Amino acid sequence: MFSVVVPGRPCLTDIVAVDSQPNGQATKFAFSIPANPPFTDLVVFLLPGTVFPPDTGAAIYIQTPDPSGSPTDFRFIGALANEKPSGIFPVQSPLPTPNGAPSTEAEQEDEMLDEGAAAGAAANAVITLGISIEPAQNIAPQLAALEEDASQKGALVRVPQGQAQQKQISTKVLAQRVIGNAFNFLASFAESDPKKQGHEVVSLKSFRDWWAKFERRIDMDPTFLERVDPNAEG
């Protein structure tokens, strides 16, 4: 139903359902992502053929580790909908920071041990991405609060207009290319669903074949998603 791409890493498909409704349909899912090496953004997208029920969407939450590597509370970072099947979301995972210079030799030794333990815990820390299918009326206020928070932070830190535009274009292009690459490959394997007239399905094997091809492309040319496609330029 969903997949995740962390730049520079293999596409994640090992989604876990964390609840079950009486009808057998899950509405809450999770991905476990190693926090190291650090990353600042990730892409979440709907797999081809996935459609939300009317007036619903997917709320995206993230749980990042604190400096000791322990998990913090989940926080809302965005949403997907039928009209927005993919998105790039920011990730902020705090790193261990020194607590000040110890004054005595014993304190220095204690501090070194503490920092070593914290670094070891952080190295094995996991970021949990939570996806919850929720009514659109529940997601809308969270999106509004998120946008307001972003605007307030933007007022404190002014970014040159050219840089902001360049970031927006690059993330949009990256999301479009991941989804477009998958859709173009999988579309040729779509078959009519005998149970639902007018619907098409794609086998999981076809998705695995797409990812194997996509991964080989990344191995051979890690920056191909970042380059502007001359054929796409107006």
Q: Which of 37-46, 152-161, 186-195 has the lowest mean pLDDT?
A: 152-161
In this predicted structure, what is the pLDDT of residue 140? 93
**Quick one: tokens of 20?**
């079950």
In this predicted structure, what is the pLDDT of residue 123? 66
Give the bridge partners for 71, in sequence order.
65
In this predicted structure, what is the pLDDT of residue 230? 44
Q: What average pLDDT does range 47-59 have in this prediction?
A: 92
In this predicted structure, what is the pLDDT of residue 185? 80
From start to end of the chain, where are the E strands?
Answer: 2-5, 16-17, 28-34, 41-46, 56-63, 75-80, 86-90, 126-135, 191-192, 200-201
Over 80: is that where the pLDDT of 233 sits? no
Q: What average pLDDT does range 11-31 have in this prediction?
A: 84
The span from the CA of 9 to the CA of 82, in Å, is 26
* Higher per-residue confidence, 172 vs 36: 36
Place of tokens 């939570």: 130
In this predicted structure, what is the pLDDT of residue 76? 94
Q: What average pLDDT does range 63-68 have in this prediction?
A: 80
In this predicted structure, what is the pLDDT of residue 5? 93
For residue 198, give every residue at least 6 positions away whose Cβ sits within 8 Å of its Cβ, in sequence order, or none: none
